[in-house]
Amino acid sequence: MRVGFYQFAPVFGEVNNNFDSVIAAVSSMECDLLVLPELAMSGYQFISQEEVASLAELVPEGPTTRRLMDVAKRRDMFVVAGIAEQFQGRFYNSAVLVGPSGFIGLYRKTHLFDEETLFFSPGDTGLQVWDIGPAKVGIMICFDWFYPEAARTLALKGAEILCHPSNLILPHCPDAMVTRCLENRVFSVTANRIGQEERGGKPALTFIGKSEVVSPGGKILHRAPPDKEELTVVDIDVTEARDKWLNPYNDLFRDRQPHLYAS
Ligand code: ACM
């Protein structure tokens, strides 16, 4: 199975232009599952509720999800993309999963980071896994990585690939995803963005790039540079994520001791 990410620098508020960049980048790519960054078309650093309201879209009726469905159909692939979503007067930092046959699912970010809490409601969808045929995929968004429960929940629900749209600012995540994959024996595709945003007199945010694909053995199959646009596709054998055997005496999930853990 070919999994990939597109690391780029969305321009704040330029939804159509950002989408055009994605279309241009993926036009000659062969891929089964493509992951795009968090808030991939809207940009990240919101400065008012009015701005969120003007950029957040309905899912799946809104233009970004419809365009994503169109790309997925034309290119015969699955796509996970971060999106600013509006639903019943609330705003969510969400991600959608679409495929050749249309809309598949929606995830609303559980663990909001920093000023995201001013503009978005915490997600209420819970962490979910979808069987898309070639693999079972789960979605977590950016700062969800900081809570090992997110990746663990997805793995316990059967995810073989963690799709991880991101707008990373802190430096730790790319290395931490190695542990998330190792401790759950799953693949991950982290699609981060690059560039800077400095809006409304707020401190500049520099996004760290380093999008990556990591294997269930904790091997970084590919890591992008911190500051360059990059489209990457990696061939993976999903069956590696199905076997939770560690050694003759340890099976990852069988040996958990949940009755001793805090909730
Ligand atoms: C983040 O969750 N965007 C850091």
- Over the stretch 80-128, which tens digit does the pLDDT of each residue have? 999 999 999 999 999 999 999 999 999 999 999 999 999 999 999 999 9
Euclidean distance between CA atoms 8 and 2, whole angstroms: 20
> Is the distance from the beta carbon of residue 113 to the nearest atom of ligand 1 less than 6 Å?
yes
User: What distance in angstroms lies between residue 191's CA and the mean position of ligand 1's atoms?
Assistant: 12
- Residue to mutate, 44, 107, 116, ligand 1, most ligand atoms under 8 Å from C-beta: 116
- Over the stretch 37-56, which tens digit does the pLDDT of each residue have? 999 999 999 999 999 999 99
User: Helix, strand or coil for residue 40?
Assistant: coil
Domains in the chain (CATH in brackets) are 2-260 (3.60.110.10)
Q: Is 73 a catalytic residue?
A: no
Ligand 1 atom with the shortest distance to the CA of 111: 2
User: What distance in angstroms lies between residue 173's CA and the mean position of ligand 1's atoms?
Assistant: 10
Helix (H) or strand (E) holding 150: helix 148-156
Q: Is 163 a catalytic residue?
A: no
Euclidean distance between CA atoms 232 and 26, whole angstroms: 10
Ligand 1 atom with the shortest distance to the CA of 38: 3
- Over the stretch 204-260, which tens digit does the pLDDT of each residue have? 999 999 999 999 999 999 999 999 999 999 999 999 999 999 999 999 999 999 999
Cα 21 to chain center, whole Å?
Answer: 18
Q: What is the pLDDT of residue 246?
A: 95
Ligand 1 atom with the shortest distance to the CA of 167: 3
- Over the stretch 170-205, which tens digit does the pLDDT of each residue have? 999 999 999 999 999 999 999 999 999 999 999 999
Q: What is the pLDDT of residue 178?
A: 98
Euclidean distance between CA atoms 241 and 120, whole angstroms: 33
Ligand 1 atom with the shortest distance to the CA of 144: 2
User: What distance in angstroms lies between residue 249's CA and the mean position of ligand 1's atoms?
Assistant: 38
> Is the distance from the beta carbon of residue 143 to the nearest atom of ligand 1 less than 6 Å?
yes
**DSSP symbol at 228:** S
> Inter-axis angle of helices 148-156 and 173-184, to 10 degrees?
30
Q: Is 181 a catalytic residue?
A: no
Closest CA to 110 of 153, 143, 151, 138: 143
Strand partners, 91: 86
Cα 199 to chain center, whole Å?
Answer: 24
Q: What is the pLDDT of residue 185?
A: 98
User: What distance in angstroms lies between residue 257's CA and the mean position of ligand 1's atoms?
Assistant: 31
3-state SS, 176-203, equals: HHHHHHHHHCCEEEEECCCCEECCCCCC
Residue 28 has pLDDT above 90, yes or no: no
Closest CA to 41 of 61, 22, 27, 69: 22
- Over the stretch 143-170, which tens digit does the pLDDT of each residue have? 999 999 999 999 999 999 999 999 999 9
Q: What is the pLDDT of residue 138?
A: 99
